[in-house]
Each structure stands twice: as C-alpha cells, then as structure tokens.
Amino acid sequence: MSPSARPVRGSTTGRPIMVLLDLIGQRWTLRILWELQPGPETFRSLQARCGDISPTVLNTRLKALREAGLVDAGDEGYRLTEDGRSLGQHLLALDAWAREWADHRPAPST
C-alpha cells in the first residue's frame, strides 16, 4: 500500500522545504497540528475538533505525521513531539499574520 507517505509528489529534489510543503499541502495536516497544540487528544476527540473529519483521512494524516516525527502516540493519545511543537510555533506566527491579513482586506467572506 503506502500510498502517500513519502512520495513527495510535486518535487523529487528531496529538498527539506519541498518535503515539508508536500506534507503540509495536504488537506487537514496543518489543521491537525493546530488542534494538537493545546495538548494531547484521543483519536476521536481529535476527529471531533477537526469538524468530524473522516477517520480514514485522519488516520492517514496521523500516520504521515508520526513518520515525519511531528506527532507521537502515548497513554493520553496523540500529541506533538518536540519538533511538532517547534513547528507549532510557526503556526502561531501564521495565526498572528492571518489576523492582520483578514483585518486590512476587503474580506472575501460570506
């Protein structure tokens, strides 16, 4: 099987940034990291947090994130590794960026 996991679709260069872009350029990956930031979550609670993402995808993503060393599974469920947390810092930065961004633009909402 091993469908996605490592293929690095868009790039075969192996450049770390490309590997990363490939990983986080998949739906839910960043969201999962985001939801895991406050603390460990069980499979089902994580699923709920992500708006009832299908378990198929959640499991696929968790597998990839674990292989990437960003997430691991313990007694309390899934949680970020040290790497995961340091990447999470960047997500926090993006959160701040996004607020300003949403602030000063025509607001494409509705």
> Residue numbers of the site for a copy of itself (CB under 8 A)?
6, 9-11, 14, 16-21, 24-31, 34, 50-51, 53, 67-69, 83, 86-87, 90-91, 93-95, 97-99, 101-102, 105-106, 108-109
DSSP string for residues in 23-41 = HHTSTTHHHHHHHHSSS-B
- Which member of 2, 3, 107, 108 binds DNA (CB under 7 A)? 3
Q: At residue 72, what are phi and psi to the nearest 5 degrees?
A: -140, 170
Specify the amino acid at residue 62.
Answer: L
Query: Rounded distance, CA 25 to CA 75, Å?
Result: 29
Separation of alpha carbons 93 and 110, rounded Å: 26
Instruction: By CB under 7 A, tell whether 56 contacts DNA.
Output: yes
Least spacing, CB of residue 80 vs a copy of itself, in Å: 13
- Interface with DNA (CB under 7 A): 3-4, 7, 9-10, 26-28, 42-45, 52-57, 59-60, 62, 73, 77
